[in-house]
Structure 1
């Protein structure tokens, strides 16, 4: 009798294990498409690019191992440092103001007294979903080198000479920075607006009862509770600024890779790979850019979060 019970118990246990294995297998099958696609179009190109950074290859012939020779060529190239300088300057000019303006716009659009808030939200967010072709046409007309163009006409009203926006050193940087600002300020505004709407209204009511004015509420309630959203936008803006490619390429057109006034690091590695056929140096540039992005993003995140921890610690003491 006991042997029969043991056999029944063993059969039930085997059945449970088989059902658990089936559940695990079905779960893996559900998530498998993502990992397959990620491995093919994400992980494999990244690993291949790292391997290619140590090879000399023109895209067709056999590879030749050169060690750190590609990195040496890139670091010794003045155009690489020029492109890195352009990337940092355009990034600071285009992304730093949009974070500040995004917070201000989100704060204004979160006010209950403001009418037509949905209209303003959609209008400000619209550039983010606008086609880059349309953006290029708009800014190409606005920043044309003609004296009758809107930008030069506006400068003329204040007594300034016309600017050749696409060929001058700072003209191209300013125009591209404004394009980046115009396109992405609405995106950051929506993130900040979501953060503002997540703050409990009871905190503001209690602060009003205690006699705090709007400025004090903004500095001591809004900004501390908005810090996680600020950290997110700072991180994403840093990564996006260092990967800038579409805006300068579309704005400058066919001359984008022939001039260095607004060439970014991504444009530099694209030029090496697809115009000069030097995939090794292009991959080495990509690896260097990855190191720069990780360092810059980590530094910005540490600065953004470190200020809050320091202030919190000071209050506890």
Structure 2
């Protein structure tokens, strides 16, 4: 028993050293992530103007169901989600398969060029898109010269086209980001699997749906969930390109939260309630996606 004591002390000392390294990260995460989340949750049960808040229970959550502006913002956000996320995932997967071809030349250049939008400033690229899609912008001028349209499209001021402009912008920015995940996953697939499929007479299409898609399933699930979260939190593009207009035709939930906090008469309690509606939607949609993907851990 005595000979075991030094070993136990060494292990305890090693565990203590490990916890000393971990505790810094734990404290920072708790301070800057979990504490604000708890405070926001408590704030969602209060109401009032500015900092003159009082406890109102679930009144703010009940108010959501009768809030017409929230309904419009919710509808717009889900339109962005339903259209943009599938299009972006399919595009990212398709481009990654093309760029994974060993016969393709200048692969490094194409990969960098497609990924670059993901590292550009959100505000800068949104402003550029606003000018590109203006009534007299480059996009309309190009379409007119190609005789694809007879009159300029009101990309920013028309309710329908304003949503399309936002969808184009976020697809342009985030497709390359998701492409990197698919590309890295494709490079980890053993080529002998494809060689065996070719010997068996499987076409490229059959190889894609029978081999590539199943092996990319974890990455598809990951990118779908992260893209869903990002779209539900959409803010910069809407604010800088369309300002939520015309009217509230392109407003997102995050922009509505900002308006409640800083643009309208400051109602931080109700703004916190709207923000927690995003949390609830993220949890539900992530659960649905896990179940749809057949993930046993979901």
Global fold match (TM > 0.5):
yes
- The reply on whether 1:297 has 2:286 as its aligned counterpart is yes
Equivalent in the alignment of 1:45: 36
Structure 1 residues without counterparts, runs of 5 or longer: 1-5, 307-317
Q: Is the 8 A contact 1:54 1:70 kept in 2?
A: yes
Q: Is the 8 A contact 1:95 1:180 kept in 2?
A: no
Which one has the largest radius of gyration?
Answer: 1
Q: How far did residue 60 of structure 1 move?
A: 2.5
Q: How does 1:152-301 map to 2 (within 5 A)?
A: 152-156=140-144, 157-252=147-242, 255-256=243-244, 259-275=247-263, 276-301=265-290
Q: Secondary structure at the match of 1:35?
A: helix
Q: Secondary structure at the match of 1:305?
A: coil
Q: How far did residue 139 of structure 1 move?
A: 0.6
Equivalent in the alignment of 2:139: 151
Q: How far did residue 184 of structure 1 move?
A: 0.4
Q: Distance in 1 between matches of 2:79 and 2:162?
A: 11
Q: How does 1:20-169 map to 2 (within 5 A)?
A: 20-61=11-52, 63-146=53-136, 149-156=137-144, 157-169=147-159
How has the CA–CA distance of structure 1 residues 258 and 18 changed in structure 2, closer, same or farther, with 3 Å as cutoff? farther
Q: Distance in 1 between matches of 2:140 and 2:94?
A: 29
Q: Secondary structure at the match of 2:294?
A: helix
The structure that is helix-richer by fraction is 1
Cα deviation, 1:28-87, whole Å, max 9, x if unaligned, reads 1101121111111100110011111111144433x3110111112222111101000110
How has the CA–CA distance of structure 1 residues 97 and 14 changed in structure 2, closer, same or farther, with 3 Å as cutoff? same
Give the root-mean-square deviation of aligned CA atoms.
Answer: 2.1
Q: Distance in 2 between matches of 1:300 and 1:19?
A: 45
Cα deviation, 1:148-178, whole Å, max 9, x if unaligned, reads x222224432234323222221121111111
Q: How far did residue 121 of structure 1 move?
A: 0.3
Structure 2 residues without counterparts, runs of 5 or longer: none
Q: Distance in 2 between matches of 1:54 and 1:137?
A: 37
Q: Secondary structure at the match of 1:217?
A: helix
Q: Distance in 2 between matches of 1:17 and 1:103?
A: 51
How has the CA–CA distance of structure 1 residues 205 and 90 changed in structure 2, closer, same or farther, with 3 Å as cutoff? same
Q: How far did residue 137 of structure 1 move?
A: 3.2
**Number of residues paired by the alignment?**
293
Cα deviation, 1:201-239, whole Å, max 9, x if unaligned, reads 111111111111212211211111111111111111111
Runs of 4+ in 1 over 6 A off after TM superposition: none
Q: Is the 8 A contact 1:257 1:271 kept in 2?
A: no
